[in-house]
Structure 1
Amino acid sequence: MNNSDDYIRIVEWSDEDQCYIGRSPGLFLGGVHGDDEHQVYRDLVNAIKETVASELAEGHTLPAPTAGRQYSGKFNLRVGPELHELLSLRAAGVSESLNSYVVNSLERVVQDN
């Protein structure tokens, strides 16, 4: 395994750009693009390797790895008092805890996208 394996690789179709976009969040902004999904992936792998090599050669510290991360299932979310109140009222209206209501709402939004 080399340092470039520490970074996530995402290739997805972009309706807006009408091509595949390859990116590595956390390592660099932007990415690579093209009409062939497999070629975009290969180009992305090369771009990650080149970025890591360049950063190390220049003596820079690499960003925290993004691949293989373990998630606790907990995160803090700050909302304004008005939204907090609205969410609490909606949760009570369907006999759910605030936590369950927010988790279920987030799951629906993420699954719809």
Structure 2
Amino acid sequence: MVNHDHYTYRITWSSEDQEFIGLCAEFPSLSYLSENRNTALEGITNLVKDILVDMEQNGEEIPIPISEKSYSGKFQVRITPELHRRLAIEAAEEKVSLNRYVSYKLAY
């Protein structure tokens, strides 16, 4: 079974609930609310652990943790010709390749 500690967790404040909310990127439908940040993390982690046990028992496909996936560093994005042209002009003005320019823009 996959180690539940390898999944991607996030704790954020929920203004709507006035509590911390624990989330897991690989299980976007799950959440755990608590007044305490640490309890929210523990809650979502334990919830994912329980879900993994249940999925395994039922023969369901278990998501691979993001931390255990390999990434090539390449992906394709379709944009309008006008945006492509504008980005190419901006890259030329910065004296860098379009690829480097877009990579920089995505990072910031």
Query: How does the TM-score come out when normalised to structure 1?
Result: 0.77
Return closer, same or farther for 1:86/1:33 CA change in 2, 3 Å cut-off. same
Question: For each residue in 1:8-30, what CA deviation from the matched residue of structure 2 results, as whole angstroms up to 9, or x when unmatched?
Answer: 22223345654322111123414
Return closer, same or farther for 1:106/1:18 CA change in 2, 3 Å cut-off. farther
Q: Which amino acid aligns with 1:98?
A: L
Does structure 1 residue 103 correspond to structure 2 residue 103? yes
> Would the aligned equivalents of 1:7 and 1:27 in 2 still touch at CA under 8 Å?
no
> Would the aligned equivalents of 1:5 and 1:67 in 2 still touch at CA under 8 Å?
no
Q: For 1:51 and 1:30, how far apart are their aligned partners in 2? A: 10
Return closer, same or farther for 1:100/1:53 CA change in 2, 3 Å cut-off. same
Quote the offset at 1:67 in angstroms.
Answer: 2.8
Corresponding position of 1:80: 80
Q: Which runs of 5+ in 2 are unaligned?
A: none
Q: For 1:14 and 1:107, how far apart are their aligned partners in 2? A: 26
Corresponding position of 1:54: 54
Identity %: 32
Corresponding position of 1:69: 69
SS in 1 for 2:74: coil
Q: Which runs of 5+ in 1 are unaligned?
A: 109-113
Q: For 1:70 and 1:55, how far apart are their aligned partners in 2? A: 23
Q: Which amino acid aligns with 2:104?
A: N
Corresponding position of 1:21: 21
Paired positions, count: 108
Query: How does the TM-score come out when normalised to structure 2?
Result: 0.80
Q: For 1:70 and 1:16, how far apart are their aligned partners in 2? A: 36
SS in 2 for 1:50: helix
